Structure 1
Amino acid sequence: MIGFIELIRASGFAADVRQVKLVRHKGDDLDMDQLRNEGWFETYQCFQSKPVFDGCTHIVSVIGEDATASRFVGIYEVQGSTTASPALLPEHCPYTQWGTESRVFYTLKKCPGFEDLEDRVVIDWGKGALAWHQWLTDRTIMEIRPRGRVLAPFRDFLRVHLSFEDLGNLATQPTAHKDWVAALSAVGGIYLIVDSMTGAQYVGSATGSGGIWQRWCDYAKTGHGGNLRLHELCREDIARARHFRFSILETFSRSLARDEAIRIESFFKQKLGTRVFGLNAN
């Protein structure tokens, strides 16, 4: 079976692997895919607490998933480094702590030509999962996902945490995400939408033949799904929906009576205070 180095070589990577590091990003306090969706991932990667990229001509970046699975997201040329400072942060960057002068700033340039592999190739990081940067040696390719695939495999309803961009990718690329479509279509449930700008929450419910999948497709199309206060936010700022994040609080049969679903929904609204402090109008 083809190895990872052979695969990127076939796509045009010609650097000496002895000067290349493989870097696995899996922050405990930051969601890497959310950083990418919001445009801050590459900034995050440039600022390091130690000179970990010294001696490298390139880094190969992956995002850690379950266990040792690691999803390829790009190759970057290391063009230089300097002492970090707040002045090196892009305008409006919310992560001001990255620019402290005790850190190192690397100038990294993304290499073109690997777009077809991004978010599709999943490699096995191996036993040294705690060592998040290593000199590049070959890795086993665990999976090559379908074109258009963005999300990791569906695992569990309570672990669902999707950005609005993720939701759009699901809705526009259902064939590439058959596992997600099947899971979300199979159940009704109570879901939570959080506005990541303010922390305000909205609780909703989904029943009927399409389950949660059909209801969330409405949000993917409009951003607000017809909900009053979400609609008001989107009317004030057409791009506001990109800050919404979607999760599932409880699942039940799609055939559950609507009155019972509303009763459960009301319980969660009361429990989370979303009528008084959140985005539920009723």
Structure 2
Amino acid sequence: MTGLTLEPILRHAGIDLADALVIRHAYVEEHEDSGLRGIHADSTDAEILAYTNNQSANSRNFPATPPRFWIVFVREGGDRARLWSVMENRGEVSNDGVRRVFDLVESDSLSDLRRRLVIGWRLPRRWWMYGAAAASYPVMEIADAEPIPFPGFDRLVLDYSRLQAVMRDHRYASWRTALSSVVGIYLITDTRDGRQYVGKADGAESVRQRWSVYAINGHGGNVELRGLDPSTFRYSVLRVFDPSTPTSEIDAAESHFKRALDSRRHGLNRN
């Protein structure tokens, strides 16, 4: 990774250096300025989040107006720091004059590099800095991603960003294999208003092939979905069939679900 620094990685993720706070947590028994419990190697994501969103009210210890994006690393020995997550700061929710609590929401930014990206941390006594100060920090490693196990068709529910990841990210290879092996009936729900669209993949077109088109353009060529923002779509599978199943049987199942969900009158199906 010689020559690669943190700056182009943040810029590629759409994070402005001026709007970024880079944090490196260390494993400690308790927070040094508050006595609050620290984090350790087995801390859960919830515990790390609680540790992150609770900060000193003293502006010498933490920015009075922290930026929107917090890029959070955890120290893993020497000068190495491994990415935990990127959090979006939605603002301060409490301040008792000693401690401030922030509303932090996990961002999709750098999601494919969580627990994989390792940078060199040059100033061991500094645990936070603005994005511009950390921009030149070297990337020391980008580890291979752990595969994500396929949850099964009955538990498969994807938002649009996850659908796109499933279709391109090598961590989801087993998901693509499973979706390639079946045809069937699927459901798209627009979570803004609850309207639903019942669709099918049949003949020579697997569910993976059908969904890969949605991942590209959001509407899959369906007139009913054109002009809608796919970022609020949710995808799930209603029923799967072996690819050798007669088309007439799949058509009947599709009609059944359209009637059962009333997706013609109150949804997004036109026929």
Alpha-carbon distance in structure 2 between the residues aligned to 1:107 and 1:155: 30
- What residue in structure 2 maps to residue 74 of structure 1? 85
Check the 8 A contact 1:23/1:59 in 2, yes or no.
Answer: no
Aligned-residue offset at 1:218: 1.0
Matching residue's letter, 1:265: E
SS in 2 for 1:153: coil
Question: Would you say the 8 A contact 1:186–1:210 is kept in 2?
Answer: no
Match of 2:171 in 1: 176
Deviation for aligned residue 1:209:
3.9
Q: Distance in 1 between matches of 2:194 and 2:183?
A: 25
- Distance in 2 between the 1:256 and 1:217 partners? 22
SS at match of 2:239: strand
Unpaired runs of 5+ residues, structure 1, are 1-11, 27-44, 62-71, 85-103, 122-143, 235-239
Q: 1:23 to 1:270 in 2, by over 3 A?
A: same
1:213 to 195, 205, 208: 208
Residue 248 of structure 1 pairs with residue 259 of structure 2:
no
Q: Does 1:224 pair with 2:219? A: yes
Distance 1:177 1:258 in 2: 29
Of 144, 155, 162 in structure 2, the residue corresponding to residue 159 of structure 1 is 155
Deviations 1:110-168 (A, max 9, x none): 9xxx97750669xxxxxxxxxxxxxxxxxxxxxx9844x7x842121010000111111
- Equivalent residue letter for 1:15: A
Deviation at 1:192, TM superposition (A): 0.4
Stretches of structure 2 lacking an aligned partner (at least 5 in a row):
1-22, 32-37, 57-61, 63-69, 74-82, 118-141
- C-alpha distance in 1 between matches for 2:111 and 2:242: 40
TM-score (ref. length: structure 1): 0.53
Cα distance in 2 for residues equivalent to 1:157 and 1:179: 12
Of 17, 25, 45, the residue aligned with 1:24 is 45
Task: Give the Cα–Cα distance (whole angstroms) in 2 for the partners of residues 220 and 120 of structure 1.
Answer: 25
Q: Is the 8 A contact 1:82 1:105 kept in 2?
A: yes
d(CA) in 2 for partners of 1:200 and 1:81? 35
2:157 maps to amino acid = H
- 1:1-282 matches, within 5 Å, as 13=24, 15-18=26-29, 19=31, 20-21=38-39, 22-25=43-46, 53=54, 73-74=84-85, 83=94, 105-106=101-102, 117-118=113-114, 146-147=144-145, 152-173=148-169, 175-231=170-226, 233-234=227-228, 240-282=229-271
- Alignment-mate amino acid for residue 184 of structure 2: G
Q: CA deviation at 1:255?
A: 2.0
- How far, CA to CA, are the matches of 2:235 and 2:241 in structure 1? 17
Which whole-Å CA distance do the structure 1 matches of 2:28 and 2:86 have between them? 12
> 1:225: Cα distance to partner?
0.7
Q: Aligned partners of 2:219, 2:27: CA distance in 1, in Å? A: 50
The DSSP-based 3-state class of the residue aligned with 1:259 is: helix
Task: Measure, in 2, the Cα distance between the counterparts of 1:109 and 1:202.
Answer: 30
State the percentage of identical aligned residues. Answer: 34
Q: Which amino acid aligns with 2:45?
A: R
* 2:122 equivalent in structure 1: none
- Three-state SS of the structure 2 residue aligned to 1:17 is coil
> Whole-Å Cα distance in 2 between the matches of residues 14 and 230 of structure 1?
44
Aligned length: 185
TM-superposed CA distance for 1:59, in Å, is 11
Q: What is the CA-CA distance between 1:210 and the residue it aligns to?
A: 4.4
How far apart are 1:54 and its partner, in Å? 6.9
CA–CA distance in structure 2, aligned partners of residues 191 and 180 of structure 1: 15
Q: Distance in 1 between matches of 2:55 and 2:94?
A: 13
After superposition, the Cα gap between the structure-2 partners of 1:60 and 1:212, relative to the gap in structure 1 and judged at 3 Å, is same
Aligned residue identity for 1:74: S
Deviation at 1:251, TM superposition (A): 0.8
Structure 1 position 259, deviation (Å): 2.1
In structure 2, do the counterparts of structure 1 residues 186 and 195 end up closer, same or farther at CA, with 3 Å as the change threshold? Answer: same
Secondary structure of the corresponding residue to residue 83 of structure 1: strand
